[in-house]
Amino acid sequence: MLSLDDRLLAALAEDIGRGDATTLATIPAHQPARAEVLLKEPGVLSGLEVAARVFALVDERVTVTWTAQDGEARERGVFGTLTGPARSLLTGERLALNLLQRLSGVATQTRRYVDALGEGQTRLLDTRKTTPLWRDLEKQAVRHGGGFNHRAGLDDGLLIKDNHVAAAGGIAEAIRRAREYAYLLKVECEVPDLPGLDEALRAGADRVLLDNMNDALLAEAVALRDRVAPHVTLEASGNMTLARLPRVQESGVDFVSAGALTHSAPALDISLNFQPEDQP
């Protein structure tokens, strides 16, 4: 996997190209500057260290000072200052803000879901529906928002989906093959209905994903699990709206997963207010 610096350098190269023409044309090389990072709507912050790293890669003379921390819920207002060469602040601005806005948007969306889910045993999980190459940062943003991470990639967990079941010839057979292939990894299997749940429980799944079941079916699924294999955990997924989450919590499932935490999170409105300083 590419390191964070490798990805940030590639993103900077995409944005800067042969040079920041506007900045080079209008700003003297040695002009110092100060800028404030402004949150323009309430939200949960994420990506502060990443944004600071962007400016460090642009120019190590840039100093970034945060008055907040990742995972902190803030109202509108200034939460950071930057000082250094004006050209460097302007050149790194867009990428740093893009990452801050995106990651803070994910953290804020996650916090909304966590708050809607309420207190209880059900935990909120993310999915693999993330921006390519930035999954680790988006999953970190989910944690900053109070959620928990599902598997990070295809290699760290077995999740048998409907297409795996179809290709393997059935739920029990897919679970058997998964156990045989990777006996040290936990096996999760997606099921669409109660008969599928019963088959997965009896086949030895460690967790069962209840796909697109309504509230009544979720409650029945929990009761079935409690009778057949009470040690197995249940994850509900599909159509997990904010309004529905309290009812899902009441059903007694262990986990709720929502792709909307990452694939549909709106960017948080953050800007950089730039104040040129007198040249020494």
Per-residue model confidence as pLDDT tens for the chain (280 residues): 799 999 999 999 999 999 999 999 999 998 999 999 999 999 999 999 999 999 999 999 999 999 999 999 999 999 999 999 999 999 999 999 999 999 999 999 999 999 999 989 999 999 999 999 999 999 999 999 999 999 999 998 899 999 999 999 999 999 999 999 988 889 999 999 999 999 999 999 999 999 999 999 999 999 999 999 999 999 999 989 999 999 999 999 999 999 999 999 999 999 999 876 655 5
- Catalytic residues, by residue number, are 94, 129, 161, 190, 211
Sequence-separated contacts (24+) of 24-31 with Cβ below 8 Å: 24/87, 27/86, 27/87, 27/90, 28/86, 28/279, 29/85, 29/87, 30/85, 30/279, 31/85, 31/86, 31/87, 31/276, 31/277, 31/279
Asked if residue 236 lies in contact with residue 215, where contact means CB atoms within 8 angstroms, the answer is: no
| Confidence at residue 277, expressed as pLDDT on a 0 to 100 scale | 67
Element (H, E) at 142: helix 135-144
Structure tokens at 187: 């096996």
Structure tokens at 174: 């897919």
Give pTM, 2 decimals.
Answer: 0.94
Asked if residue 118 lies in contact with residue 73, where contact means CB atoms within 8 angstroms, the answer is: no
Structure tokens at 136: 């680790």
